[in-house]
């Protein structure tokens, strides 16, 4: 089972950016946590982060026929990007949307998610553990 974990804009700044909201775990720490968890559940994992919408679309397209599940935190593009939604729909790879913060309880504009329409589950407000929970959901779906 191959899982692709995609992080969008500003998530490379984890640990530095607004720690009261996003916590003190750095992006490097998060990558390590994800890799360790992948080993634990017997999955291969690929990590990708970009601040650019088109690069995120390219990465999703490249996953077609190769990747069994996508965990995606599109950052601010969650709330604006029809292109990322369409890319997820195009490849039709089971995907889980993750947000570190509880987006549904924040500003109104963060309560809109285009990407959610192409995901079979959403995890919000569980901090960085949400990524690991999303990997579990992908595994359960893959094995069922
Ligand atoms: C985020 C929430 C988004 O609204 C924000 O733009 C982010 C991070 C989260 O993980 O909580 O960059 O996706």
CATH topology of domain 2-143: Rossmann fold (3.40.50)
- Ligand 1 center to residue 124 CA distance, Å? 9
Catalytic residue status for 99:
yes
Atom of ligand 1 nearest to the CA of 101: 11
pLDDT tens string 41-70: 999 999 999 999 999 999 999 999 999 999
pLDDT tens string 98-124: 999 999 999 999 999 999 999 999 999
Give me the count of residues in the chain: 144
Interacting residues of 34 by C-beta distance below 8 A, sequence separation 6+: 5, 45, 47, 131, 132, 135
What is the pLDDT at residue 139? 97
Mean per-residue pLDDT, 125-142: 98
Pick the closest to residue 93 from 127, 126, 59, 128 (CA basis): 59
What is the pLDDT at residue 57? 98
């Amino acid at each position: 089972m191959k899982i692709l974990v995609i992080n969008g804009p500003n998530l490379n700044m984890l640990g530095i950016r607004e720690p009261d909201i996003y916590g003190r775990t750095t992006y490097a720490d998060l990558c390590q946590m994800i890799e360790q968890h992948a080993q634990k559940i017997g999955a291969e994992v690929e990590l990708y982060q970009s601040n650019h919408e088109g690069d995120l679309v390219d990465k999703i397209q490249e996953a077609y026929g190769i990747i069994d599940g996508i965990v995606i935190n599109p950052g601010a593009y969650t709330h604006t990007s029809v292109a990322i939604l369409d890319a997820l729909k195009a490849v039709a790879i089971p995907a889980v949307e993750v947000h570190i913060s509880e987006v549904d309880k924040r500003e109104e504009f963060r309560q809109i998610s285009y990407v959610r329409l192409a995901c079979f589950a959403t995890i919000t407000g569980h901090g960085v553990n949400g990524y690991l929970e999303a990997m579990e959901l992908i595994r359960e779906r893959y094995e069922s």
